[in-house]
Amino acid sequence: MGWPLAVSAGLLERSPRALFGALGALSAGHLLATFLVLLPFALLLTLAEWQRPIQLAASLLVIGFGAYRLVDRRHPRALARIPPSQLALWSFAVAIAHGAALMLLPIYLGLCQAADLDASHRAAGALVSTNLAMAVLVSLAHVVAMVVAGGCLAWLVYRYLGLKFVSRSWLNLDAVWAISLILVGAIALVFNLTN
């Protein structure tokens, strides 16, 4: 959801370099946010006997947060104008506040389930390192997909639509985002309940 800020940076400085610099800062903040949300769950998964309840709770947490975001649509206007030097911090804060990192939990927990099949015969250190590596992998895969999709949107708006489009149309994707959180949580919940 930060790609409009990348467009803004490119348009303000009249430079594609500024657009791609902004995308880099946004992806750094987003990566940090996703990793910080997944890290505690990577450590919690060492308790293999609690894995299923943790997965169900994470699914319900994602559904609940999506419903909250759907009902509470307040969006601070101060977030619309962020200096390029603060984009990584903004990306981190918004990824936490909007639940972007939270959306990865059901996926991450499902991927780690295969790594923990024989948890009783593994050392705790091996479990932590396996889960930590998976948390890093899920965070990186998510951020790469986010930067590619958002970067393409930012480049197309910057290159072909320009300032008039950005100033006349405010893209509020909060409802779409909230619904996607609910869908991901519901899908994860169904998979966890059927296993």
CA atoms within 13 A on the CB side of 10: 27
Rounded-to-integer distance, Cα 90 and Cα 100, Å: 13
The predicted structure's pLDDT at residue 176: 76
Q: What stretches in the chain show pLDDT beneath 50?
A: 115-116, 119-121, 123-125, 127-128
The predicted structure's pLDDT at residue 32: 87
The predicted structure's pLDDT at residue 128: 47
Per-residue model confidence as pLDDT tens digits over 137-154: 777 887 888 889 889 988
What residues have CB less than 8 Å from 54, skipping those under 6 apart? 41, 44, 45, 109
pTM > 0.85: yes or no: no
